[in-house]
Amino acid sequence: MSNYSNLDRFYFSSDTFSLINKYTGSTFIIKYGGSAMKDKSVQLNVIQDISLLYLLGIRIVLVHGGGYLINNWLSKLNIEPKFNQGLRVTDAQTMEVVEMVLSGNINKQIVSLFNQNNIAAVGLSGKDANLITAFPLFSDSNNFTGKVDSINNKILCTLLDNQFCPVVGSVATDSAGQTYNINADTLASSIAVSMKADKLILITDTPGLLYNVHDKSTLIKELNLNKINHLKSNGIITDGMIPKIDCCVDALINDVPQVHIIDGRVRYSLLYEILTYSRIGSMLVA
């Protein structure tokens, strides 16, 4: 990790060109979230790197979260954020804020950044064209945190086939029209499975999986399902990392070949992870 953290440019090599050739025409589902979204310059850098992959011929669907901004708005409204098993508890008031932030503020901000990079992006939520239907994740009827029920990926395929980049906010609805807040990691995993994606990439605010969360040098660069189970049983994977890893595992057991976790705060981290063999984050395989 330390070899990359201070780099201010990305160098193309013969390996890079071979990997570009390998991935051209592939489908990547990229989830962007965490505090890697807080800094405007970091956000611009991340979208520039995604735009480059798109221009190299990789079909990309971007799924975004926005927890930090949701919490900011909840604080302004004197609503205390609550979490259960690493997932947000979404009462009716919180749901209104979640939809405002995800479908409005953040979604359109990301679309605008893509447009500035000459990428024709289209902002969506799960409500558009019945892209995502959901059902309650918890038994509490006042908790509108949901789980993906079904994905109608026709609109995503249509957009990609016509050279548009879909940008999806993690809000969905059930058959009765009730709005639900979906964990963005989980949604990205479900879309990756539905689209038969070649990769699921989680751009977040952690270097990847670490043996010691306080020591970046303990990064685990590659691990399989057996290793993941071992780390969970030994308390290495804990707290908020559990739902993130669970969605990665779900993608892997449903035939998504590779899942990557990278730190979006590191300049060019996406390019170093995808377009070099040495990589910079954690890669999970079945």
Known binding residues for substrate are 66-67, 88, 181
> Based on the number of CB atoms within 10 Å of its own CB, is 264 exposed (0-12), middle (13-18) or buried (19 or more)?
buried
Report how far residue 272's alpha carbon sits from residue 253's, in angstroms, rounded to the nearest whole number.
26
276, 15 in Cβ contact below 8 A? yes
Report how far residue 100's alpha carbon sits from residue 231's, in angstroms, rounded to the nearest whole number.
37
95, 134 in Cβ contact below 8 A? no
DSSP 16-69: HHHHHHHHTT-EEEEEE-GGGGTSHHHHHHHHHHHHHHHHTT-EEEEEE--HHH
**Which residues have a Cβ under 8 Å from the Cβ of 223 and sit 6 or more positions away?**
209, 231, 282, 283, 284, 285
Supply the Cα-derived Rg of the chain in whole angstroms: 18
Report how far residue 79's alpha carbon sits from residue 77's, in angstroms, rounded to the nearest whole number.
5
Known binding residues are 66-67, 88, 181
